Amino acid sequence: MLTQPHSVSESPGKTVTISCTRSSGSIASSYVQWHQQRPGSAPTTVILEDNQRPSGVPERFSASLDTSSNSASLTISGLKTEDEADYYCQSYVGNTVLFGGGTKLTVL
Amino acid sequence: QVQLVESGGGVVQPGRSLRLACAVSGFTLRRYGVHWVRQTPGRGLEWVAVISYDGRDKDYGDSANGRFTISRDTSKNTVFLQMNSLRAEDTAVYYCAKGSSGSYYWIVDNWGQGVQVTVSS
């Protein structure tokens, strides 16, 4: 199971971090992805394989793992209003794909 | 460029069946797995099923519950989701999504636009 905060908010230009905590098994045992879903749109992938940005994703998006807290984090710097969206972490265990519950980012 | 286009959604009565299709382009099903993921109104993403790059492995989430079957036709570059005995709680937007190459197909890296399925009498 992957647990995310329900919501976070921050001002334009600031930096925000969204966490994703794995309840059992090591967070490092399988890759973590992050998916952005703007209102009314399909998800898009902003981070692959723990910390890799797909082509076209701004450098403002970064991610890391923290094995001490068994969690992954997505950090967005220089926040823009267009970053307002739901963010989902995704990983896998055995033959099952896991999604976090999603975090609503409000940029105000 | 990678594209996934879902079709086959609509309104269906409880207990009936529906088959969704996901037409892909920009990559070959022989090298990449494909997932189905659904999203109920106002809720998060829920993994439904995956078919591996070689078609040998098919795995399902709890939501499939033995009623859904994933398959593919490589000659048509299309992946299907057969949904039987549909229930009101299956009402959702269904997305197909591309997995990474080879045995890393558990990594979701591209999404389709989604198709609405409504189960109602």
Q: Tell me how far the alpha carbon of residue A102 is from its chain's centroid.
A: 8
Q: B41 with B8: CB under 8 angstroms?
A: no
Tokens of B59: 């795995």
| Residue A34: predicted pLDDT | 98
Task: Convert the pLDDT of each residue in A13-37 to its tens digit.
Answer: 999 999 999 999 999 999 999 999 9
**Least Cα separation, residue A45 to chain B (angstroms):** 6
Strand partners, A52: A48
**Least Cα separation, residue A43 to chain B (angstroms):** 6
What percentage of chain B has pLDDT greater than the value 90?
90
Which residues from chain B sit within 8 angstroms of residue A88, using beta carbons?
A: 44-45
DSSP letter assigned to residue A94: T
Task: Convert the pLDDT of each residue in A49-99 to its tens digit.
Answer: 999 999 999 999 999 999 999 999 999 999 999 999 999 999 999 999 999
Q: How confident is the model at residue B103 (pLDDT cuts 50, 70, 90)?
A: confident
> Cα–Cα distances in Å, from A81 out to A57, A99, B121?
16, 25, 41
